[in-house]
Every structure is written in structure tokens, then in C-alpha cells.
């Protein structure tokens, strides 16, 4: 409860800061919308050239892509840990965080969140809606509920992996280039996994499970029987990775060496 | 309950060494060489509730590492540590509610939002009840005179204004123990004076324990009854400021301007038997007097033979003393 209230307050403060630079805020909003629009056009143009992809129709591929954008936007809004090493370790902001009575990771997330990235999720929903409408997809009463669960699970997988990678900074402040690599690997989750060979498929499922962020749950809504079980595992995989990420983070905090003076 | 109780507190850091060249880089990848550096070495420290203690030492002596262990930021390598009855690192989230922290070179406030909003966020973070918050904030605002810029964002404040807000922020939740790291760095004399006055008041009124690290020894002189001095990770002095002065002050210096020229040996002859050393030539002389030698003793020996035109007595400043200790090491005297 305390954390929910804290979240709310940080959110309000964030909005206030953004509103203070009002023109800036609107410019950003317009840019975001334009960016999402371009994104949308890009997706449709690219996919309209591929009739189908190893048994997947164009609409299905677009649907999966649109779905992927939703958990991804969740991740992009609340796990902006890109400059963690620079800002929190080298500049020493983590010292301040650690003298405050709330979980350190939670504070870092609240301080770095960019809720406007959620707009990507709206694009995703539009893309999904369009593709679903084209295919005449039908929804069951439980589909929206599962959708929320899957999106949270997918977001948690992304979050867990990135928290884990960010925690490396707590052990050593030297730069690592794993994050951008991982970011690229993450993109593989947006396409049907049966276009990849077996090794990559296994890696995307059991090692770095990005397939759970996009493909598996999306295929569930396309009424694909083949990956039904895997799709339903999404929230579980999400919990496992989030748990792992937080564990490693806590372990890292115990090893934290402080900002060098 | 004691504010701080540390026994054998130690912190080691692993420092990785990188080998040169491409070959070295490959070897580093497989087998990194490192050496251990002991930043804090078996420190015993006991501070009672309500004390104001100055924690001093050169750069790299281990001051900030100690403070970071005491505030729960770092986990000690070994030794036992109790601060306000908690293990600072293990019970961090409960523990930090009982302390306040001001790091002079780093803001505790949110840069972009109004000071008042920063305080409100802290209120939520520390879960301060409404009525107690309002009451206490009003008092802090009044005493620190920060009312006029509460609605400005922190980035628009001057250093002195910011510092006063930082102090208010650190005290909002009424901590029993306040850590101040270089609280007066870069401030002008008047602001320094105000802040010292305020700290004394807080200490007296609420019985808040204050641990202060500073390079400005006038802070220590103005505030602290007790000084802990650190060198190479070890405590080399722990006691009151007066004792430090008398042990290390090496007495006073008497500077004389004489009417007529006199030789050094003649002066030595006159002051024979007194614990002092002469320096100078012509008409200007300095007598370095050891502790216990009185100015009047010296003058009574001189006056029959020489005419003193001008004289000045100088006492070693705390700064001189500390500088000497760093240079010579404490063992020299002890």
C-alpha cells in the first residue's frame, strides 16, 4: 500500500515537472504521436510486401508485432535503466537513494520512469485492433483478462532481464555493452519463432525468453493450438525473471562499493 | 542507547589491476589480478546520544567510507556496528528513518521541483503524519528562514539557500542522528555562522546527535566538543578538542620587535633555563615557547636589558595542529 501511494506521488511530481515546461511537454507529445504514426506506417508498408511468413499471414504477423508493442511500452516506461551506471553509480546518486526508507530499485524506477512511453502501447493496440478486424478475430470474455496477465508477464520478463543486466553495474562500474546487444535480441520476440532455426528458438524460449514477450501470448489470441501451453506460461516466466532480477539486484546492493571520491 | 557503537569496523575494497596491451587484456578476461585495499581498519567508535562529534582526516583517510558504513550505504567487511540500535546495512529501510543525511556536495532534493514539493515527497517517503509534519516544517522554515523560496525549484536557489533547504529536508522526520558531510563547503562566512548556530540549536533542543566531517576546522571549533581523527583507515585521535590543542599545540609563539639590535646568543643567555627557542636576527625575534612557559617569565628576563617596542602572542590554530599531525604522524608525540 505504501508503495502504491509512493508511486502515485512520484507520478504526480513527474507530471508537474513536465507541465512546468508546458511547451516542451506538448512538443514532446506531438513528437511522440508523430513517431508512433511513422512507426505504424512503417509496419504496414514493410509487412504489406511480405505476403506471408512461413505459414503466417500478413495480418497475423502484424498482429503479433502490435501485441509485442504493448508489453514493450510498459517496459520502456518504467525500466529506463539505460544510464543507470552513469547517473547512479558514477555520479553517486545511488548513495542518496540508499539513505531513504524504501526499496532502492523501486526508488530508482520511480526516479527514471517516463510514462509517456506508454503511447507506444496505444499504437500497439491500434495495430492489433486493425489486424484483428481484418482477420475477423473473435474475442472470448476471458481474452481481455488473459491479455492483461500476458502483458504484465511479458513486461516482467523484460524488466527482470534488464534489472539483472543493470545490476552488473553494482559489482563493477566498468561499462558493459551487453545492454544494447540484449536490446537487439529482444526484437526477435516480435516475429513468429518458427521462422528461426531450432537453436535460436530454444534460446528465445528457455534462455532469454523474449518469445514470451511477443510471440507466444500473441499466438494464443490468434487461436494457435501449438503454443497454447507456452502462452499460458507467460505470467509464470515473467514472475521467475522478475524474481531473479530483484534477487541479483539485492545481492548487488550488498556488494555496492559506493561512488569513488 | 548509544547513537553509534562500532567495534573492529573494517572495510576492504578489491582493486582490480589491468595488465597492459592486448595480451594483457585477454589475460585480464580470464584471470583478473586484484589487490585488497583496507579503507577502514578496525575502528572502535562509541558515540553517545546528544554528542556533536567532528570526524576529520585527509582525503583518502577513510572518512567517507566510514560514513557510508554508518549510514547503511556500504556493508562492512568485518566488525560489529550498531547505529541507533540497528544494523545499518541489513536493516537499512527501518534504520534510515532514524537518521538524517546531508552530503554537502550532492543534493538530497529533487532538482526540478519546488522545494515545498520535495518536502512533500520526503514526507511520503518517511511516512510522517500530517499534523506532526506541518508543525515541524513550520518551525524549520522559521528558524532556517527558507519561507521566501519554498516555491522555487531547487536548481534556482543559491548555494546557501540550497544548503538550508537540505538541512530542513534532513530533519523533517526528526532523526535522532544527523550525518553532515562538508555542510559548509563553499558557503560565505555569514551563512556558515547561521548554519552552525542552527545546528547547535537542534542539538540542544532535540538532543540530536551530530556527526560532522569537514575540511573547515572552524566548523569543528565552533561546534564540536569531541574530535575523531582518522589517518590511513585508523583512528589516531579520539578526544576533546582542548586536549588535542594542548598536546599538539606546542605552546605559543612570542613575536618581538626590539628597539636596538641584539644577537641571538645574547637572547639565549638571558632566557637561559626557560623552555623556549629563539629565532630571528637584528631587531625581530620569535620565541617558540613550549607548554608551561609563561610570557611574563620571558619578558621579566628581557626587560632589564632590552627595550621591547612591539610584541604579539600567537597561538597555533587547530588547522596548524592538524596539519602537523598529518605531516609527522601521531606516534611522534604520544
pLDDT band, residue B282 (cuts 50/70/90): confident
Selected residue with higher pLDDT from B99 and B306: B99
Q: What is the ipTM of this complex?
A: 0.82
Mean pLDDT of B48-55: 94
Q: For residues A98 and A89, give the distance between their C-alpha atoms in angstroms, rounded to a whole number.
A: 12
Asked if B52 and B60 touch (Cβ cutoff 8 Å), the reply is no
- Sign of the Cα torsion B237, B240, B244, B246 reads negative
Cβ distance B64 to A101 less than 8 Å, yes or no, reads: no
Q: Which residue of A has its CA nearest to B91?
A: A101
Instruction: Of A56-65, A220-229, B124-133, B325-334, give the range with the top mean pLDDT.
Output: B124-133
Cell numbers for B62: 577513510
For residue B71, the chain A residues in CB contact (below 8 A) are 98-99
- Which residue among B113, B125, B126 places its CB closest to the CB of A16? B113
First-last CA distance in chain B: 32
| Helix segments in B71-155, DSSP class H | 92-95, 115-126, 130-144
pLDDT band, residue B39 (cuts 50/70/90): very high
For residue A2, the chain B residues in CB contact (below 8 A) are 127
Say yes or no: A2 contacts chain B, CB-CB below 8 A: yes
Mean pLDDT of B198-213: 93
For residue B101, the chain A residues in CB contact (below 8 A) are 99
Q: CB atoms < 10 A from the CB of A195, how many?
A: 15
Cβ distance A98 to B92 less than 8 Å, yes or no, reads: yes
Identify the burial level of A8 via C-beta atoms within 10 angstroms of its C-beta, where 0-12 means exposed, 13-18 middle and 19 or more buried.
exposed
Residue-level pLDDT at B317: 74
Domain B251-315 CATH class label: alpha beta
Residue of A158, A229, A101, A92 whose CA lies nearest to B173:
A101
Most A-contacting residue of B13, B62, B89, B125 (CB-CB within 10 A), to test interface:
B125
Binding-face residues of A in 186-245 toward B, CB within 8 A: none
pLDDT for residue B333 is more than 50? no
Residue-level pLDDT at B16: 74
Residue-level pLDDT at A86: 86
First-last CA distance in chain A: 37
Residue-level pLDDT at A261: 46
Measured between CA atoms, how close is B88 to chain A, in angstroms? 10
Q: For residues A16 and B292, give the distance between their C-alpha atoms in angstroms, rounded to a whole number.
A: 66
- Per-domain boundaries in chain B: 4-246, 251-315
Residue-level pLDDT at B250: 66
Q: For residues B242 and B237, give the distance between their C-alpha atoms in angstroms, rounded to a whole number.
A: 12
Q: Name residues of chain A where pLDDT drops below 70.
A: 50-52, 173-176, 259-261
Cβ distance B124 to A261 less than 8 Å, yes or no, reads: no
For residue B110, the chain A residues in CB contact (below 8 A) are 13
pLDDT band, residue B332 (cuts 50/70/90): very low
Residues from B in contact with A at Cβ < 8 Å: 13, 16, 59, 64-65, 68, 71-75, 89, 92-94, 96-97, 99, 101, 103, 106, 108, 110, 112-113, 117, 120-121, 124-127, 153
Residue-level pLDDT at B277: 85
A and B: number of Cβ contacts within 8 A? 66
pLDDT for residue B167 is more than 90? yes
Cell numbers for A210: 523474449
pLDDT for residue B334 is more than 50? no
CATH 3.40.50.300 for domain B4-246: yes
Q: For residues B285 and B278, give the distance between their C-alpha atoms in angstroms, rounded to a whole number.
A: 7
Cell numbers for A246: 530483484
Cβ distance A101 to B89 less than 8 Å, yes or no, reads: no
Residue-level pLDDT at B125: 92
Angle at B48 between CA B42 and CA B53, to 5 degrees: 70
Least confident of B84-93, B171-180, B286-295, B324-333: B324-333
Residue B287: strand pairing partners: B254, B278
Cβ distance A99 to B59 less than 8 Å, yes or no, reads: no
- Which residue among A102, A172, A254 places its CB closest to the CB of B125? A102
Q: For residues B252 and A137, give the distance between their C-alpha atoms in angstroms, rounded to a whole number.
A: 95
| Confidence (pTM) | 0.83
For residue A257, the chain B residues in CB contact (below 8 A) are 13, 74
The secondary structure of A28-55 as a DSSP string is HHHHHHHHHHHHHHHHHHHHHT-SEETT
Least confident of A242-246, B32-36, B159-163: B32-36
Q: For residues B124 and B121, give the distance between their C-alpha atoms in angstroms, rounded to a whole number.
A: 5
Residue-level pLDDT at A139: 84
Mean pLDDT of chain B: 87
pLDDT band, residue B242 (cuts 50/70/90): confident
- E-strand spans in B140-281? 177-181, 209-213, 226-231, 234-240, 252-258, 276-281
Amino acid at each position: 500500500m505504501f508503495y502504491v501511494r509512493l508511486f502515485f506521488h512520484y507520478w504526480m511530481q513527474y507530471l508537474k515537472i513536465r507541465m512546468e515546461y508546458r511547451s516542451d511537454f506538448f512538443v514532446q507529445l506531438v513528437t511522440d504521436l508523430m513517431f508512433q504514426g511513422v512507426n505504424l506506417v512503417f509496419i504496414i508498408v514493410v509487412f504489406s510486401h511480405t505476403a506471408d511468413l512461413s505459414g503466417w499471414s500478413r495480418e497475423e504477423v502484424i498482429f503479433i508485432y502490435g501485441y509485442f508493442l504493448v508489453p514493450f511500452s510498459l517496459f520502456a516506461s518504467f525500466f529506463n535503466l539505460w544510464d543507470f551506471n552513469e547517473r547512479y553509480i558514477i555520479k553517486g546518486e545511488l548513495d542518496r537513494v540508499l539513505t531513504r526508507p524504501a526499496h532502492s530499485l523501486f526508488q530508482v524506477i520511480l526516479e527514471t520512469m517516463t510514462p509517456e512511453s506508454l503511447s507506444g502501447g496505444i499504437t500497439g493496440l491500434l495495430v492489433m485492433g486493425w489486424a484483428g478486424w481484418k482477420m475477423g478475430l473473435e474475442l472470448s470474455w476471458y481474452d481481455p483478462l488473459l491479455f492483461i496477465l500476458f502483458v504484465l508477464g511479458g513486461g516482467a520478463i523484460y524488466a527482470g532481464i534488464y534489472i539483472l543486466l543493470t545490476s552488473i553495474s553494482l559489482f563493477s562500474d566498468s561499462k558493459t555493452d551487453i545492454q544494447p546487444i540484449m536490446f537487439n535480441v529482444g526484437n526477435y520476440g516480435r516475429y513468429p519463432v518458427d521462422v528461426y532455426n531450432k537453436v535460436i528458438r530454444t534460446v528465445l524460449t528457455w534462455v532469454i525468453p523474449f518469445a514470451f514477450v511477443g510471440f507466444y501470448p500473441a499466438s494464443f489470441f490468434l487461436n494457435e493450438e501449438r503454443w497454447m501451453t507456452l502462452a499460458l506460461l507467460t505470467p509464470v516466466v515473467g514472475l521467475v525473471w522478475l524474481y531473479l532480477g530483484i534477487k541479483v539486484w539485492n545481492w548487488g546492493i550488498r556488494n555496492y562499493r559506493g561512488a569513488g571520491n | 542507547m548509544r547513537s553509534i557503537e562500532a567495534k573492529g569496523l573494517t572495510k576492504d575494497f578489491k582493486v582490480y589491476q589491468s595488465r597492459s596491451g592486448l595480451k594483457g587484456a585477454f589475460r585480464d578476461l580470464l584471470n583478473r589480478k586484484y589487490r585488497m585495499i583496507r579503507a577502514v581498519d578496525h575502528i572502535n567508535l562509541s558515540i553517545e546520544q546528544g554528542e556533536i562529534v567532528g570526524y576529520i582526516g585527509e582525503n583518502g583517510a577513510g572518512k567517507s567510507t566510514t560514513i557510508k558504513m554508518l549510514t547503511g550505504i556500504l556493508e562492512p567487511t568485518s566488525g560489529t556496528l550498531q547505529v541507533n540500535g540497528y544494523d545499518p546495512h541489513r536493516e537499512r529501510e527501518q534504520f534510515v528513518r532514524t537518521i538524517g543525511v546531508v552530503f554537502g556536495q550532492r543534493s538530497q532534493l529533487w532538482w526540478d521541483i519546488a522545494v515545498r514539493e520535495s518536502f512533500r515527497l520526503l514526507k511520503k517517503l518517511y511516512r510522517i503524519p500530517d499534523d506532526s509534519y506541518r508543525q515541524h516544517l513550520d518551525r524549520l522554515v522559521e528558524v532556517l528562514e527558507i519561507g521566501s523560496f519554498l516555491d522555487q525549484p531547487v536548481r534556482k536557489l543559491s548555494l546557501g539557500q540550497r544548503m538550508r533547504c537540505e538541512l530542513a529536508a534532513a530533519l523533517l522526520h526528526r532523526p535522532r542522528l544527523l550525518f553532515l558531510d562538508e555542510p559548509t563547503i563553499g558557503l560565505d562566512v555569514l551563512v556558515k555562522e547561521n548554519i552552525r548556530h542552527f545546528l547547535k540549536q537542534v542539538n540542544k533542543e532535540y538532543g540530536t546527535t551530530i556527526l560532522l566531517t569537514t575540511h573547515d576546522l572552524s566548523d569543528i571549533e565552533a561546534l564540536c566538543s569531541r574530535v575523531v581523527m582518522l589517518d590511513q583507515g585508523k583512528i589516531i585521535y579520539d578526544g576533546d578538542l582542548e586536549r588535542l590543542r594542548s598536546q599538539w599545540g606546542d605552546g605559543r609563539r612570542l613575536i618581538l620587535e626590539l628597539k636596538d639590535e641584539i644577537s641571538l646568543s645574547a637572547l639565549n643567555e638571558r632566557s637561559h633555563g626557560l623552555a623556549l627557542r629563539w629565532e630571528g636576527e637584528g631587531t625581530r625575534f620569535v620565541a617558540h615557547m613550549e607548554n608551561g612557559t609563561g610570557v611574563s617569565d620571558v619578558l621579566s628576563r628581557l626587560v632589564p636589558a632590552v627595550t621591547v617596542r612591539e610584541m604579539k602572542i600567537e597561538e597555533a590554530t587547530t588547522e596548524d595542529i592538524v596539519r602537523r599531525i598529518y605531516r609527522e604522524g601521531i606516534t611522534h608525540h604520544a
